[in-house]
């Protein structure tokens, strides 16, 4: 497999340097831009396999850059954002970002996210049978097994789980899940989501209080994690 090209758009030279070293030492090719304008031109001329986009750029708001990129760019975009801006993150995810990381971040975490995003991006058509440890999900037969035993899920629970599985590793926002499962009229009825996530966890997690599959992204949403 060819080395993946990752483009970094961030105005902070130190962050760019840090990302360059971390990414190159993990066999990615890095291309950089220090502002929105250069970033968009570079991405158009040499489309990368993935973009890491900082939301706080000097020449243009990160959200508007994200929207413009999403008009034509279909590969993954990972958002970098400074601390304590849940609204920003939710907005970016709803506008088509695949994932986010809050500054300051651990490079180990960043690399794990990149691997997960790129893997999902390559396997565009999801394998109908997904196996994660003791959990087996057959999307074509609509069957879920845990430790080889059939798990009985209600229609809503199954709908939620299949969304998670199809978007493995990706953060799904509260609004997204409510809209997809219950419909557009329910996007502010987060109590349904809370109840069903708790129920689903009781059925598929080893310890529902310390979930390993459906992980909470506080104030933002949930993420399905497949730890092989």
| Binding region for other proteins (CB under 8 A) | 83-84, 86, 104, 154-156, 174, 190-192, 194-199, 209-210, 216, 218-219
SS3 5: strand
Q: Which is nearer to other proteins, 60 or 205 (CB)?
A: 205
Q: Which is nearer to other proteins, 29 or 192 (CB)?
A: 192
* Shortest distance (Å) from residue 195 CB to other proteins: 6
Q: Which is nearer to other proteins, 30 or 182 (CB)?
A: 182
Q: 78 with 117: CB under 8 angstroms?
A: yes
* Shortest distance (Å) from residue 89 CB to other proteins: 12
Q: 223 with 171: CB under 8 angstroms?
A: yes
Dist. CA 117–CA 44, nearest whole Å: 21
Dist. CA 73–CA 83, nearest whole Å: 27
Residue 206: both structure tokens together: 């080893």
* Shortest distance (Å) from residue 216 CB to other proteins: 5
* Shortest distance (Å) from residue 206 CB to other proteins: 14
Residue 168 backbone class (left: φ over 0; alpha: ψ -120 to 50; beta: rest): beta
Q: Which is nearer to other proteins, 4 or 197 (CB)?
A: 197
Q: Which letter, b or e, does each residue of 201-227 get, where b requires 16 or more Cβ atoms within 10 Å of its Cβ?
A: beebbeeeeebbbbeebeebbbbbbbe
* Shortest distance (Å) from residue 49 CB to other proteins: 30
For residue 75, the number of C-alpha atoms closer than 13 Å in the C-beta half-sphere is: 18
* Shortest distance (Å) from residue 135 CB to other proteins: 20
Q: What is 117-184 written as a DSSP string? A: HHHHHH--S--SEEEETTEEEETTTTEEEETTEEPP--HHHHHHHHHHHHTTT-EEEHHHHHHHHT-G
Q: Which is nearer to other proteins, 129 or 215 (CB)?
A: 215
Q: Which is nearer to other proteins, 112 or 122 (CB)?
A: 112
* Shortest distance (Å) from residue 150 CB to other proteins: 17
Q: Which is nearer to other proteins, 49 or 88 (CB)?
A: 88
């Amino acid at each position: 497999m060819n080395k993946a090209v990752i483009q970094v758009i961030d105005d902070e030279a130190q962050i760019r340097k840090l990302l360059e070293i971390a990414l190159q030492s993990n066999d990615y090719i890095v291309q950089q831009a220090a502002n929105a304008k250069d970033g968009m031109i570079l991405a158009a001329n040499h489309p990368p396999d993935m973009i890491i986009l900082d939301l706080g750029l000097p020449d243009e708001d990160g959200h508007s850059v994200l929207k413009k990129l999403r008009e034509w760019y279909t590969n993954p975009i990972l958002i970098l954002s400074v601390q304590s801006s849940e609204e920003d993150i939710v907005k970016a995810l709803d506008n088509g970002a695949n994932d986010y990381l809050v500054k300051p971040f651990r490079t180990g975490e960043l690399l794990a996210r990149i691997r997960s995003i790129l893997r999902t991006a390559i396997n565009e058509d999801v394998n109908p049978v997904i196996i994660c440890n003791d959990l087996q999900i057959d999307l074509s037969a609509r069957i879920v097994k845990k430790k080889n035993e059939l798990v009985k899920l209600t229609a809503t629970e199954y709908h939620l789980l299949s969304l998670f599985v199809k978007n493995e590793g990706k953060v799904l926002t509260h609004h997204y899940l409510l809209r997809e499962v219950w419909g557009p009229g329910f996007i502010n009825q987060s109590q349904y989501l809370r109840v069903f996530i708790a129920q689903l966890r009781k059925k598929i997690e080893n310890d529902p209080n310390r979930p390993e599959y459906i992980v909470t992204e506080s104030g933002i949403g949930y993420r399905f994690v497949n730890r092989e």
